[in-house]
Amino acid sequence: MDRPSGFQGGVNGHTSAITANVQLSIKANVVIANPKVWAGLTKDQQADLRSGVTATRSWASHQVVTLSTSARGFCDQHLGDVVVADPAQLSAWRHGVAPAVSALEQADPVTRTALARMRALVAAAPSTDLPQPCTATPADRLPSVTASGDQTVIAGEWRMLASAQKLAAAGATQQDVGLNSGAWTFSLDRHGAFSYVEPRGRSCHGTYAVSGNRLSMHEDASVGDCDGQWELTFTRAGDRMTWVPTPAYVATWPPLTGFFANPLELIGAAPQ
């Protein structure tokens, strides 16, 4: 139950739901040896290769996160909801896909044999890793602040470089690194409005509020897929400002620590 989408990629809108006990695909990692190369190996080399592949398979099988653990994390990290189909729904689903399964079996004997093998494996060792349904707390309900004191302390045009290396080190997927690394430009006016432009050109705007060293930013959800909420503490020293996500905000996507690792640099006066 891997992350379906990355930071600012639809997650904050709380749009994802996964039915944990209906799996639509089979995952298999297979090591394939070129038969000509294999035939050219000595018996000892073939034995070493078999041993290495077997050891890798055994190691990998112990690295898998259980389905129930993944389901709980999916909700805890605000990625969406997890539901579980009841027996009647499962029966209806199997009935609905039966014609497609039958067509696959009739079209290809290799597929027919593989499907029979899958059924036998499931019958011999049914899963005991049963996920529980759960509901995510939408990320747009994070603890926030209201405006208090001087709101112009962060006003200006700012640029922040989101480092690909630091994002990856913080656990971001390759897709998330590609979407979010690069120069982000933030415009914060003197009246509580902001906008930003991502490296890929996507832009959003909304309102912000400062209270002490806390900063809350709410995007205008009426514009495209802009529906994020940013919860930060900030420190400004002249033309440099550091943003640190709050623990509750980090929980929505742990790689935020890598995203905000670099400071913002002032590049212009506050927009009017």
* Mean pLDDT along residues 198-215: 94
Q: Give the whole-angstrom CA distance, residue 34 versus residue 48.
A: 16
Backbone angles phi, psi at 150, to 5 degrees: -70, 115
More confident residue, 270 or 216: 216
- Give residue 45's pLDDT: 96
Same domain? 109 vs 146: no
What does DSSP say about strands 17-19 and 203-211: parallel, antiparallel, or unpaired? Answer: unpaired
* Mean pLDDT along residues 58-77: 79
Question: Burial of 82 by CB count in 10 Å (0-12 exposed, 13-18 middle, 19+ buried)?
Answer: buried
Selection from 267, 271, 255, 265 nearest residue 8 by Cα: 255
- Give residue 142's pLDDT: 82
Structure tokens belonging to residue 239: 């033309």
**Cα 182–183–184 angle (5° rounding)?**
120
Is 188 in contact with 158 (CB distance < 8 Å)? yes
Instruction: Indicate which CATH number applies to the domain containing 216.
Output: 2.40.128.360
Question: Global pTM?
Answer: 0.58
Does the structure show a pLDDT above 90 at 15? no
Same domain? 29 vs 85: yes
Does the structure show a pLDDT above 90 at 129? no
Q: Give the whole-angstrom CA distance, residue 75 versus residue 41.
A: 50
Exposure on the CB side of residue 28, measured as CA atoms within 13 A = 7
Residue at 11 is within a domain: no
Residue at 10 is within a domain: no
Residue at 3 is within a domain: no
Q: How far is CA 122 from the centre of its chain?
A: 29
- Give residue 198's pLDDT: 94
In sequence order, what E strands does the chain have? 17-19, 81-83, 156-162, 182-188, 193-197, 203-211, 214-219, 229-237, 240-245, 264-268
Q: State the amino acid at position 255 in one-letter form.
A: P
Q: Give the whole-angstrom CA distance, residue 191 versus residue 272.
A: 8
| Domain membership of residue 28 as a residue range | 17-124
In sequence order, what E strands does 192-263 have? 193-197, 203-211, 214-219, 229-237, 240-245
Same domain? 35 vs 114: yes
Task: Give percent of the chain with pLDDT exceeding 70.
Answer: 89
Does the structure show a pLDDT above 90 at 9? no
- Give residue 77's pLDDT: 66
- Give residue 12's pLDDT: 43
Q: Give the whole-angstrom CA distance, residue 48 versus residue 32.
A: 15
Number of domains into which the chain is organized: 2
Same domain? 263 vs 156: yes
Residue at 21 is within a domain: yes
More confident residue, 120 or 224: 120
Which tens digit of pLDDT belongs to each residue from 130-187?
888 887 765 557 889 999 999 999 999 999 999 999 999 998 878 789 889 999 999 9
Residue at 191 is within a domain: yes
Residue at 251 is within a domain: yes
Which tens digit of pLDDT belongs to each residue from 23-52?
777 666 777 889 999 999 999 999 999 999
Distances from the Cα of 194 to the Cαs of 118, 132, 156, 238, in angstroms?
54, 40, 10, 20
